[in-house]
Amino acid sequence: MEWNLYKICFRLKSPLHIGWKRTAFFQQTRSFVPAKNIWGALIAVLGREKENYKQIEELIESGLRFSYFYPTDGKSKISIFPWEDSDKFEWLYLNSYVSTPLDKKLAKRGYLHEVEYISPYTREGNSVFIIGYILERKNSNLDWREALDHIQIGGERSSGWGRVKVETIEESDTIFGIEVDLQYDLPQIIYDTDNKHLFAHVRVVKNDKCENDCQGPVEPVIGRDTSCKNNFGGNIKADLCWMPGCKYKKSNFKIEAQGLWVPV
């Protein structure tokens, strides 16, 4: 077996904003945490400790894989996925914060903005957790478990948003109930029956059967990476993907380093 699979449960300690769409002054959050946010947060913590971000990035990309993470009001399972009942999900978990910069104690005209976030408490008063999975290659020696308690996820981090605390780390043999083959060099998600929901963005590959076998919306997943050759976020790339929640027929998917799934 090439990989070990772990189920991770975080307790959300502050508002969590995962940037998505902007309409006028309203900045909408995603209702889940993409794998790349966990990937980037771990690089930030471990790279700062080792003072070598590039080396840590390479070690993480070779030794770890991440699922998407979803909010819930319990530690053991997801109580409701965003696509199951969007109105109930938004009412339970989402809230927003309105602010504006001041000029001589007066609000600046045209600078009002509203930021939506996943709240650390539901409207029913329960604590919010986010649950997902991390796959570790057997020969990996990264100290990712300890680092997880120090990560900050998403936007508005300078305001204290995106703080999490690890509640549990336990071994698992499925990802959200979906079988995973851990024998391959890259782990594979196995959809053995039709019309199961996707739990991550799935790359749309030209001439791939996914074009006919998937039902649901697509969107461009845009990423900004940094290298020594350009400024912060200077590497921009976009992948056209099926969105989480789409229904897919029987197939296998490999998990890329930053969490996108690719049909095999």
Tens of pLDDT, residues 130-167: 999 999 999 888 999 999 999 999 999 999 999 999 99
Characterize the bridge pairing of strands 26-29 and 113-118: parallel
Residue matched to tokens 């409207």: 123
Q: d(Cα 149, Cα 168) in Å, to the nearest integer?
A: 11
In the block, residue with structure tokens 């400024």: 231
pLDDT at 146: 94
| Domains located in the chain, CATH noted | 1-172 (3.30.70), 179-264 (no CATH)
Chain position carrying tokens 């995106």: 162
Residue 243, burial from CB neighbour count under 10 angstroms (0-12, 13-18, 19+): middle
Nearest to 217 by CA among 189, 255, 247: 247
Neighbours of 1 (CB within 10 A): 9
Quote the pLDDT of residue 110: 57
Which of 108, 255, 86, 236 minimizes the C-alpha distance to 185?
A: 255
Residue 112: is it exposed, middle or buried by C-beta count within 10 angstroms (0-12/13-18/19+)? middle
Q: What is the pLDDT of residue 234?
A: 60
Phi, psi of 16 (to 5 degrees): -130, 120
What pLDDT was estimated at residue 106? 56
Give the other-Cβ count within 10 Å of 125's Cβ: 7
pLDDT < 50: residue spans in the chain: none
